[in-house]
Structure 1
C-alpha cells in the first residue's frame, strides 16, 4: 500500500470534487411534480435529493448509527429512523482523520460519519428495469478520504448504472485492535464492518432508487481495492455482492491480529491509556481530536498505513492465502493496476523537499525490502533509470508491491471463475500542475485513472483522445457491472485471463491504443519477485 501521508495528498489533489450539493456541473433545481423524483422512501424514512438533467444524487444518508460514546469501537448498529423528510442534498462529514494538509479543502470531519451517497441516472418517463449497482469503496490508506469526493455523475449518466459511494471509519477509529476493546479475536476491522453494513443497506434499500439488489458489484481503488479483496474472503460479506472490481489494491498489506494487538497496545500507552484493565474505558473517554493520529500497521520504508486485521472474527483468513487455496467468493472479477504506480508518491515527496538522492537509494531499499534489498538493487540499478533514484525506487515498488501482487491474485482467482485484468497505461495522464516542475516524469501513476471514471472538479482537463479513453473505460466498467463481463460493442475485446500455460492476456488502456498484451509479468519482472523469500 502507498505511504499514508502521500496517498492522502493524492486523493486530495486528484479526487476532491465539489463538496456542496448544487455545485456539481449540470445540476438543476429539484423538479416539482406529483411523483417527485427528488423524494425516495427508504427503511429509515423519506429522503430528498437533488435532480439534475442526467442524474439524481441522494447524499449523506446514514446507513448505521453514529459510532460514538459507547458505540466507539463497536460493530456498526442499525441507522436511526426519522419522521418527515430528511435533506439529502449535501454530503455529510467525512470520518475522523488527520487534518494535516487540508485534505478535501478542510471539509468537516466527525465521528458521526457513517453515511453514503446514491447516484442514479435521470428518471425516465418510461422507467427501465432495475439498474445494476456499483458500490464504490474509497482509497486513502485507511487513514483518510471519503465517498463524497467521487462525483459519479458522468458514470451513471453514460453507464446507465447506479453508483453508491460511502464513508467508513478510518485510522484509529476504524482499525485499533487493542485486546481490551472486545472479546478475544473480535477487535479491529470496525471500518471493514462498516463497509459490510453499507452493503447490507444497499441490499435492503437500493430498489427504492431504481437499483437491482440482486446485481451488485463491490469496487474500490487502493485501500478500497484492498477492502474488496477482504470482502472476497470475509464470512460477513458472503452474498452481499455478485462481482468485484479491484483497482491498484496491494492485498498483501494485511496485518495479523497478534501484531495489530501489540501495536495497538503501544498506541494506547502513547495516548495515556497504558493500564490494560482500564484501557477500554480510558480510550472511549478520550476526546476524538486526541485520536486523529492513526494507528499504523503495514510499512513501506518510513511510512505505514492502518488497515484490516487478519486472524480476527471479521477477517479470519489472509486474502492472499485464501485466493491461493481457492476459497474466495466465486464471482466475476475485474482487476488491474497503473503502469507507473509509485512515481506519484515520489513526486509528492520531492515537492515537500524530501528528495531521494542516489546516495540514499540503498537505505530506502533496505527499509522497504529488508534482506532482499541487495537483490532488488541489482535488478533495479540506478543506471537503468538515468541515475534517478526516484524512478528506480518507483519501478521497484510498482513491480514488487502492486503489479506482481495483482498478477498473482488474478492467476489464483482465474482458476475458479472469470477474471478480466487491465493495466492503465496513459503515461501522459493529467497530473496536478506542480508536477510539471519535477526532474522526472510521473507517467501513469497511482490514482490517475480515477479521473477517467469519475468527474473530478479540480483535476486538469482530459484532451480529446483522453476523453475518448474515459468514455471507453466507463463503457467497460459499466458493462462489467451490468453483466459480469466487460464486453462492449464498438470497443476492443477484453478477454478473460487464460489458465495454465495459456498466456495471461491483459487489456492495456491508453488513448487511441486499447489493446491486448500478454507480457505484463515480464515487463514488471514478476518471476524475480515471485522468487524472493
Structure 2
C-alpha cells in the first residue's frame, strides 16, 4: 500500500500532518533564504580550516552575521558511507557560506514538497548566526540545535533566518544548527563492530567537537555551550547529555518534547530487524562484515528509499486491516515511523555512545543543568489521523489496541484492562467529545510525558539544576490550519512551541503559510525565547541582569513541590502530574512482570475488545449484571429442586415395590 498524498486533499492533509508532527517536524520546506539586500553586507571570518564568507542579516529586533553551510566533516560518501565521520579538510580559497547546502537524504513517504528538496549524501554542514552590534558582552554563549524528524527526515535549514535572529540571536546568543545522517544512512547496523550503527549520533558529536574548537573565532564562548533539540532531536540531546563520549563538549541541555526513554527513541531490536531486512532484500547479507559493507556501499539512494517505504507499508497493514488480531508488527505507526534509530552499542567498548539501556544511562549519568518540557497535546496528530480512518469506517476508534498496541507489553490484555480502568474510569468507551481527548492522553503519556517525567526524576535525584515547563498555548488560526475531526481544544500539538519560538509556520507546515501574529502571540514568543536564552546564558531561565518585563519567577524543580512553569493563556507555576509516572512505571510494570503460570492475573472489570457501544448505558449495565446473576442462580435452584423431587418420587416408588415378608 503506497501513500502518494498531496496536501490539498483532507485525508492526505491529516495523514501527512500526523506524520510530520508526531515525533518531529518532518515535511519542511526550505525556509527563508538570504535576500539580495543581505548579500550587499558581506562579512568574513578566519578559521583554522580557512576563511569563510558570510553576510549580515538585519531583522526587526537585531542584526546578525550569518554563515550558512559550513562543512564540519568530510562528505560521508563512497568508502565513508557507514563509517565514522572524518575531520573536514582545510580549504585554500575563501569559502562561500552565504547559502544553505543540501539536505541529508530524506527517508519518508512520497510527497511533492519533500521531493523538491535538494538532497545529498554530502550533507554534513552547519549554520552559524552571530550577534552583531549588540549591547551583550563577548564572548557570547552558544546554543547548538539538533533538529527533529523521527531520525528519518529534517535538516538544519528548517529554522527561518528572521525568527532565529529576532528571537534568539537578539538576546546575545550564538545559534548553530547542524545536519546529521538520517534513516538507514544514519543508523543501519548489524549490532556488531563491523556495521556498528549510530552514524547520525557520531555526526552530532563531531559537529560539537568542531564547534567547541572553532566557535571562539566567531566570538563564541567554548565553555558556555548548550545543546538543545525537539522531538527526535530532543532524544538525541537526552542521549548526548549522558553519554560518556561527550563529557566536556557542552555544559547545559534543552530538551523539548522527547526523551531517550521514549519508546521510539532507542530501538535496538527494531533497527536490527529492519537493517537485516534491508540487507536481505538487497542481497547484501553476508557473514563477513567486510563483504556486507562493500555491497551496501554500492546501493543507490533510490534502492534504500524503496526498501524504507516497504518497511513503512508493512507497518501500516495492521492499521488498515480492520483486524482484531493483536499486533506483533514492530514497525507499528504508534512509534512514529522511527524505523532506523540509535541503538545500545556496548559492543563498541570504548567507542560506545550508548553503553547502557536508556533508563540506566540517564539514571547513572545525569550531570548537566537541564531545561525540559513538552506540549499538552503532543500526539493530537496521530489520534486525528485515526479519527479520520474511523470516520470512513476503516478502523474502530474505540479499540484501544491502536493507542496501546499489544506488541509493547507483556501480559498485554491485562495491561490494556488497567489502561481502560485508569483513563476511562471503568465506563464504556463511547463516541463522544471526550473520547478523542482521552485517546490523545493515552498516546501522549506513553510517548512523551512519562519518559520525560522519569528523566526529570533521575536528574533531580542527582541534585542537578532542572527547570520544567508545560506548553499549552495555541490560538484559533493555528488550530484551524492543522486540526480536524474533533481534535480542537485538546491542547497544544507537537511542534506548536517551535512555531512561536521561531515565529514561523515553516517549522510545522510545508506550505509556508503566512500568519499575522497578535500581541498575545508575541508575548508567548518573547517568554519562551527569553527564558530559553536566559538558561543558555545563566543556567537559569529567570532574568539575571535584565529588566523582568513579564514579572515572573520560574522555580527550579524539586521534590516534593514538583513545580513546573505552565505556559498557556496564562503563565504560572503548577505541579507536574507525577501520578502518571506511578501508574505507568509501577502499576503497568508490575502487571507485566506477573507470572501467568502462577495464576496471578490482574483482572479489573473487562470490556470485550474495547469497542464502542459494547454497553449502551453504564447504570443499566449494573442492573443487567445483577438480573442475569439472580436469574442464573434461580434457574440453578429450580434445577436442584426438580432433581430432588425426582429422587424423592423415585425412592417412594421403590419403597412401594418391596414385598412384605411373613414370618
TM category, shorter: 0.7 to 0.9
Aligned partners of 1:67 and 1:321: how far apart in 2? Answer: 32
Pick one of 30, 50, 54 that aligns with 2:55: 50
Aligned: 1:314 with 2:353: yes
Within a 5 Å distance, the mapping from 1:44-123 to structure 2 comes to 44-53=49-58, 54-98=63-107, 100-103=110-113, 106-123=116-133
Q: 1:394 maps to which residue? A: 440
SS at structure 2 position matched to 1:264: helix
Q: 1:497 maps to which residue? A: 557
Structure 1 residues 336 and 9 mapped into 2: Cα distance closer, same or farther (>3 Å)? closer
Pick one of 446, 452, 458 that aligns with 2:494: 446
Equivalent pair of 2:123/2:179 in contact (CA under 8 Å): yes
Q: Deviations over 1:196-251 (max 9, x none)?
A: 01101110111122211110001000000000111022222111100000101132
Q: 2:530 maps to which residue? A: 475
SS at structure 2 position matched to 1:431: helix
209-218 or 95-104, larger mean C-alpha shift: 95-104
Aligned partners of 2:152 and 2:391: how far apart in 1? Answer: 22
Q: 2:259 maps to which residue? A: 250
Pick one of 352, 360, 363 that aligns with 2:401: 363
Equivalent pair of 1:16/1:150 in contact (CA under 8 Å): no
Equivalent pair of 1:247/1:337 in contact (CA under 8 Å): yes
Aligned: 1:162 with 2:205: no
Q: Deviations over 1:136-157 (max 9, x none)?
A: 0000000000011012122334
> How many Å apart are 1:526 and its aligned residue?
3.1
Q: 1:286 maps to which residue? A: 299
> How many Å apart are 1:461 and its aligned residue?
3.8
Aligned partners of 2:431 and 2:516: how far apart in 1? Answer: 29
TM-score, with normalisation over the residues of structure 2? Answer: 0.71
Structure 1 residues 338 and 238 mapped into 2: Cα distance closer, same or farther (>3 Å)? same
Q: 2:324 maps to which residue? A: none
Aligned partners of 1:43 and 1:471: how far apart in 2? Answer: 36
Q: 2:582 maps to which residue? A: 527
Q: Deviations over 1:163-220 (max 9, x none)?
A: 000110001000001257x44xx70100001000110111011112221111000100
> How many Å apart are 1:359 and its aligned residue?
4.8
Q: 1:175 maps to which residue? A: 187
Aligned partners of 2:389 and 2:210: how far apart in 1? Answer: 41
Aligned: 1:428 with 2:475: yes
Structure 1 residues 353 and 133 mapped into 2: Cα distance closer, same or farther (>3 Å)? farther
Pick one of 261, 276, 284 that aligns with 1:273: 284
Q: Deviations over 1:27-56 (max 9, x none)?
A: 63333xxxx6x2111222111112112122
Within a 5 Å distance, the mapping from 1:277-356 to structure 2 comes to 277=288, 278-292=291-305, 293-294=307-308, 301=334, 303-305=336-338, 306-312=340-346, 313-325=352-364, 327-328=365-366, 330-348=367-385
Q: Deviations over 1:65-92 (max 9, x none)?
A: 1000000010110112222211111111
Aligned: 1:414 with 2:463: no
Equivalent pair of 1:134/1:217 in contact (CA under 8 Å): yes
SS at structure 2 position matched to 1:320: helix
Structure 1 residues 4 and 318 mapped into 2: Cα distance closer, same or farther (>3 Å)? farther
The size of the alignment, in residue pairs, is 512
SS at structure 2 position matched to 1:230: helix
Aligned: 1:515 with 2:515: no
Aligned partners of 1:506 and 1:309: how far apart in 2? Answer: 31
Within a 5 Å distance, the mapping from 1:25-40 to structure 2 comes to 28-31=38-41, 38-40=43-45
Of Structure 1 and Structure 2, which has the larger fraction of its residues in helix?
A: 2
| RMSD across aligned positions (CA) | 2.9
Aligned partners of 2:481 and 2:115: how far apart in 1? Answer: 17
Equivalent pair of 2:104/2:122 in contact (CA under 8 Å): yes
> How many Å apart are 1:389 and its aligned residue?
4.9
Aligned partners of 1:298 and 1:208: how far apart in 2? Answer: 45
Equivalent pair of 1:257/1:310 in contact (CA under 8 Å): yes
> How many Å apart are 1:440 and its aligned residue?
2.3
